[in-house]
Amino acid sequence: MSDVADVARPARKVTTLAELTPSQIEAIRKIPAEKDAVVVPFGATRPNAIFTGRERFDLEQEKIFRRYPVPVTVSALLEPGSVVANDSYGVPMLVSRTRDGTIKAFINACQHKGSKIIEDCAVHKQGRMTCPYHAWTYGIDGKLIGVSRSEAFEGLDKSQRGLVELEAREWGGIVYVQLNRDIAADWSQLSSQVAEDFTAIGIPAAHVYGRKAFDLKANWKVVLEPFLEGYHVQRLHAASIGDKFQDAPNIVDMFGPNIRQVSGRIGYVPEMLDEDAGANVHKLVTHAYTAFPNCVVITSQYYTSIMLLMPRDADRTVVEYFMLTPGPATTPKAEEVFARSYELILGVFGNEDFRAAEISQAGLNAGVPEATIYCGLETNIVRYYEAIEALL
Ligand code: FES
Ligand SMILES: [Fe+2]
């Protein structure tokens, strides 16, 4: 599991132990004191081709990313009456929240001749969208509401030319969309426990402080791996945040192909949990989730990181990173510390975890190692792979 430093202090609200779900609390209570943590030796391998091969990439696309709904953004990004474009899975898409609060997703293609309707990736607060080409206008509910020079069209039925809709749903504050229109969305791989946990840590009601996209030269699983193991934390992150985290296994629970890890911070002892009922539980423990199939959530003391790892090729992944805070900064001091936290976290993930992914991919692409090998501090990677492989 990777994690981030905690620069930000003056947030308005913290999460206490009692606000978590019973399932989260039960897991936290299993974390031993740092000195009592035991690592059980473990051995497993995975062939190089799962990170480099075209065959495996195509199979994952068919059996996972184009079969099940995938996460495309966070609920908190879209207030009622706003819309954002998203191309991250290679599908031009619009995601909107209508005035009544409903999330909708559409193919970002005009029903006249296919032009993208919104070209940038900013959030637009507007009730309608106008195609840049011939200025057809759509509501953010997808209805075609205006055709310029409509008298020039013979037999045009506007009601038949609304935007093509994709099935969409919010799940614990994450927006999921079914990319493949040929099959009905199957929501069975998503976990209601994970959605409850996300709600307890404030994800649906959060504020998006910042978001940034990274286009990485690495397979999505190579990007994911550091978020499923603690082995690298004191090493890769030695110069940044490594000294805040234990070199010990996490407490792990799986909910179908979803994984929840929780770990004590450096010097943790269980008695700390009951010292102060009003204390910020994320000062003591770190939650790290991988929500099926590619959504990573990591808690820090005063903010939560969400990353969507979107595969574009066997060795290319677009990551969208979101830093969520309980609310917007209300003072210049708060803004300053949020800004420093944001810079720091982007440095840790960008210059350390994502860099590790890219330099590993370079070796894997050269055929080395023939098989990756995992130890007792990396067992969660293998558990997650087993869950994914069962779907292929
Ligand atoms: S392509 Fe959109 S109005 Fe012509
Ligand atoms: Fe990391």
The confidence score (pLDDT) of residue 346 equals 96
Cα distance between residue 354 and residue 317, in whole Å: 10
Nearest to 353 by CA among 193, 254, 218: 218
> pLDDT tens across 197-225, in order?
999 999 999 999 999 999 999 999 999 99
276 and 128, same structural domain? Answer: no
Asked if residue 218 and residue 275 are part of one domain, the reply reads yes
Q: What angle do CA 22, 26, 32 make, to 5 degrees?
A: 155
Same-domain pairing of 25 and 162: no
Q: Are 353 and 296 in contact (CB under 8 A)?
A: no
Alpha helix segments (H runs only) across the chain:
22-29, 49-52, 54-60, 192-200, 220-224, 233-236, 332-347, 354-365, 379-389
Vertex 287: Cα angle to 346 and 267 (nearest 5): 95
Which pair of tokens denotes residue 294? 């590619």
> Once rounded to an integer, what is the mean pLDDT over residues 81-100?
96
Task: Give the chain's mean pLDDT.
Answer: 95
Co-location of 344 and 361 in the same domain: yes
Which pLDDT value is given to residue 10?
A: 47
365, 316 in Cβ contact below 8 A? no
Nearest to 297 by CA among 26, 2, 76: 2
pLDDT for the residue 44: 98
Which one-letter amino acid corresponds to residue 145? I
> What is the Cα–Cα distance from 113 to 210, expressed in whole angstroms?
34
Handedness of CA 54, 294, 91, 190 (dihedral sign): positive
CA distances (Å), origin 359, targets 54, 222, 313 = 20, 10, 17
Query: Atom 3, ligand 1: which residue's CA is nearest?
Result: 134
Q: Is the pLDDT of residue 351 over 90?
A: yes
Query: Is 4 a domain residue?
Result: no
- For ligand 1, whether the C-beta of 54 sits within 6 Å is no
Would you give the distance in Å from CA 133 to the centre of its chain? 33
Q: Could you say which ligand is closest to the alpha carbon of residue 345?
A: 2
Locate the ligand 1 atom nearest the alpha carbon of residue 117 and give its number: 2
CA proximity to 201, closest of 281, 266, 258, 264:
281
Ligand 1 and 383: CB distance under 6 A: no
Q: Is the pLDDT of residue 8 over 90?
A: no
The answer on pLDDT for 2 being more than 60 is: no
Question: How many whole angstroms from 302 Cα to the centroid of ligand 1?
Answer: 45
Q: What is the pLDDT of residues 53-81, one digit of tens each?
A: 999 999 999 999 999 999 999 999 999 99
Measured from the Cβ of residue 42, the count of other Cβ atoms closer than 10 Å reads 13
Last residue of a domain, one of 177, 206, 226: 177
Cα–Cα distances (Å) from 169 to 177, 185, 187, 237, 245, in that order, read 7, 10, 9, 36, 35
The reported pLDDT for the residue numbered 125 is 97
Same domain? For 273 and 148 the reply is: no
Nearest CA to ligand 1 atom 4: 134
In this structure, is residue 5 part of a structural domain?
no
CA 280 to chain centre: 23
Q: Would residue 2 count as lying in a domain? A: no
Q: What is the pLDDT of residue 337?
A: 86
Domain that holds residue 332: 17-65+189-391
Question: Is 375 inside any structural domain?
Answer: yes
CATH number of the domain within which 243 lies = 3.90.380.10
Please name which ligand lies nearest the alpha carbon of 138: 1
The angle formed by the CA atoms of residues 302, 307 and 312, to the nearest 5 degrees, is 170
Which SS3 state, helix, strand or coil, does residue 74 take?
strand
Tell me: do 316 and 203 sit in the same domain.
yes
Q: Bridge-partner residues for 124, per DSSP?
A: 83
Kindly state whether residue 11 falls inside one of the protein's structural domains: no
Distance CA 254, CA 45 (A): 20
Interval 231-260: pLDDT, tens: 999 999 999 999 989 888 899 999 999 999
Cis ω for the linkage preceding 369 (within 30 of 0): yes
**In a shared domain, residues 311 and 361:** yes
Question: Total structural domains in the chain?
Answer: 2
Instruction: Look at residue 1 and tell me if it is in a domain.
Output: no
Same-domain pairing of 57 and 106:
no
Domain end position, chosen among 153, 177, 201:
177
Atom of ligand 1 nearest to the CA of 136: 3
Mean pLDDT of 300-312: 96
At CA 51, angle to CA 380 and CA 173, rounded to 5? 55
164 and 295 fall within a common domain: no
End-to-end CA distance of the chain: 25
Q: Would you say residue 6 lies in a domain? A: no
161 lies in the same domain as 74: yes
Task: Kindly indicate the confidence band of residue 7, based on its pLDDT and cuts at 50, 70 and 90.
Answer: low
Q: Has residue 264 got a pLDDT over 60?
A: yes
Q: Which residue has the tokens 């990736």?
A: 121
What is the pLDDT at residue 235? 96
Single-letter residue type at 178:
Q
pLDDT of residue 1: 41
What whole-number percentage of the chain has pLDDT above 70? 97
- Whether the pLDDT of residue 173 is over 70: the answer is yes
> What are the helix (H) ranges across 175-300?
192-200, 220-224, 233-236
If asked whether residues 277 and 298 sit together in one domain, one would say yes
In a domain, 7, yes or no: no
| Residue 13: band (very low, low, confident or very high) from pLDDT cuts 50, 70, 90 | confident
Indicate which CATH number applies to the domain containing 154: 2.102.10.10
Determine if ligand 1 sits within 6 Å of the CB of residue 137.
no
From 148, 177, 206, give the residue that closes a domain: 177
DSSP-derived letter for residue 203 is S
Using the atom order of ligand 1, give the atom closest to the CA of residue 111: 2
| Amino acid of residue 284 | L
The SS3 call for residue 6 is coil
Q: Are residues 271 and 225 part of one domain?
A: yes
Ligand 1 site, residue 288, Cβ cutoff 6 A:
no
